[in-house]
Amino acid sequence: MVFKRRDPRTYAQIVREFVYPKGGIRRSAQYVIHRMRRLPDQPHRIARGVFAGTFVNFPPLYGVQMLSAAALAWLLRGNIIAALLATFLSNPLTTPFIATLSVTLGHWMLGIEAPMTFTTVYVAFTDAGAQLWHNLLAPFSDDVAHWDKLIEFFWFVFWPYTIGSIIPGLIASFATYYLSLPLIHAYQRLRSSRMANRAGRVRQKRRGPAETTPEGDDETPGAP
């Protein structure tokens, strides 16, 4: 096959590179920033796309994160590609911190008093996932669907997560918007200036050396 890897990766390598890219988090972030700066669009539209992509990193929109970023960017009349690139700010290293902050803040805002440790959250996600899978298979067997774990997960984890993610999501989105707008504007001006200078040099080479009058020939038409 044309696009087949020369050295196939093992499942362990795939999982490791998903959590920590081969080139490192810094290199991946530099690539995203580089691609975002070179987008052929107006700076304010790109910044709006960054706003949309940054915001959807905070709510629990697992599985529809990119679709949500594209939809929000479209509503804000922002650049959809910039929104999709900004979703890469959410990764397996940053998501646990975002989730912990959002759930804790959501519990405080909703007045929920419940222990929120890593173990309790992990158990809630595991039980909800197992029960959801059980309910999906229940119509094809004699088992009865149960909803107690899913309801508990919704009210004590998912709903507080959603409510608590709004404020930090807006803060991060406005911060990235106002930081990216002048940077993108300055980069585009610098890039346009470089392209104009390069085009000028190419035109100068095509014209060749400027024609000059031979020395000692000072006569001009109509001179006495």
Residue 139 pLDDT: 86
pLDDT tens by residue, 41-53: 788 899 999 999 9
147, 131 contact by CB (below 8 A): yes
Distance from C-alpha of 165 to C-alpha of 101, rounded to nearest angstrom: 8
pLDDT tens by residue, 186-214: 877 877 777 777 777 777 777 765 544 55
Domains of the chain by residue range: 11-198
* Positions of the chain with pLDDT under 70: 1-38, 208-224
Residue 4 pLDDT: 52
Residue 33 pLDDT: 57
